[in-house]
Amino acid sequence: MPRRRPPLFFCALEPDRARSTIPHVHTIAVSNQKGGVGKTTTVANLGAAIAARGCDVCLIDLDPQAHLTLHFDIEPGPKTASVYDILSGKVGFGDACVKVDEHLTVVPAVTDLAAAEVELAGTVGREQILRDCMEAQPQAFQLVMIDCPPSLGLLTLNALAAADEVFIPLQPHFLALQGLGKLLETVSLVQRRINPNLRVGGVVLCLYETATRLAAEVVADLSGFLEANRGGKCPWADAHIFRSVIRRNVKLAECPSHGMTIFQYDASCNGAADYNALADEFAGIYPQLVPPVAPEKSRPQPAPRPGAAPRNCAMPMAIVPPSRASAAPGPVRPNAAMAPTIVPPRAEIAL
């Protein structure tokens, strides 16, 4: 008797069943369309700090400026497989990975990446090319962080389509808040149309100046906006402001020119202490990604100076979100003119 052929629907389900066995890699897109707010610095140094704690991390440079690539002393060029080659289908995702440390891998970028948006304009499913390439050739990473370009174009859409959540580096200035609403609108549209699991994980305060009242006022405005959306259905309903702020530090601006992270360049400076504190906070939020016991080498501790008080890198209590902070004399009065810049605009983006 001839063997009966399986029904067609069974054959169609086999690829999906095979895909479901692939372990999920937590992916974070670090995005803000305003330039100079600390996206690349945060991806490089936070990624290095998390990797030093034993987590296998991959950093993807999706910015045509290739600053993350240069940060790790990788020279972008025609002989180096890059994320541009991945998007154009020339190489697989794993072929472009460059291992820079025991637990840290970088996917470099080249300036040709600027032409990708034009070249891929007519491609079907162009917003999901990066995600499809990552799923087609999965790697043994626990965490992927994507450094997005300072725009809301096709490259950023690819990052949002591949990500589980978004981290937003933000300089605590009023002008830096103006583009936040547009970014939140884009995240909301991507969640509805492309990636239903996408959410905003949190806001990282960079270039923070503890001596200014302006920073406290901006954080108060942002905290009030996030608290007003708690329990809602928007992607930022569970977003929080990281308590570990990144203070303005010239060492953070110097280390990329040497092709080093801040921990390799000067492990005793404020920048290293701040990113170590941010990595500790990250480990507390994502214990499934970071091993509970960190290796000693991951926590470089400078020798204390005689008579020097220990540094506290956490957010000052004066700028903790209103629901957690106690009443302080002279309450901050949010600027009413800022409300429209924080609330996502109604205009839609054509995806």
pLDDT digits (tens, 9 = 90+) for 116-172: 888 988 888 899 999 999 999 989 999 999 999 998 899 999 999 999 999 999 998
C-alpha to C-alpha distances, 217 to 200, 203, 246, 340, nearest whole angstrom: 22, 15, 17, 16
Burial class (CB in 10 A: 0-12, 13-18, 19+), 228: exposed
pLDDT at position 126, please?
92
pLDDT at position 330, please?
44
pLDDT at position 160, please?
96
Provide the whole-model pTM.
0.79
pLDDT tens for 76-100 read 877 889 999 999 999 999 999 999 9
Partners of residue 143 on adjacent β-strands: 26, 57
C-alpha to C-alpha distances, 346 to 9, 290, 331, nearest whole angstrom: 42, 38, 31
Residues 6+ apart with CB under 8 A from 273: 311, 313
Task: Please state, in angstroms and rounded to a whole number, the distance separating the CA atoms of residues 24 and 202.
Answer: 21
pLDDT at position 22, please?
59
Q: What fold is seen in the domain 23-292? A: Rossmann fold (3.40.50)
pLDDT at position 156, please?
94
Q: Report residues of the chain scoring pLDDT below 70.
A: 1-22, 293-351
pLDDT at position 106, please?
97
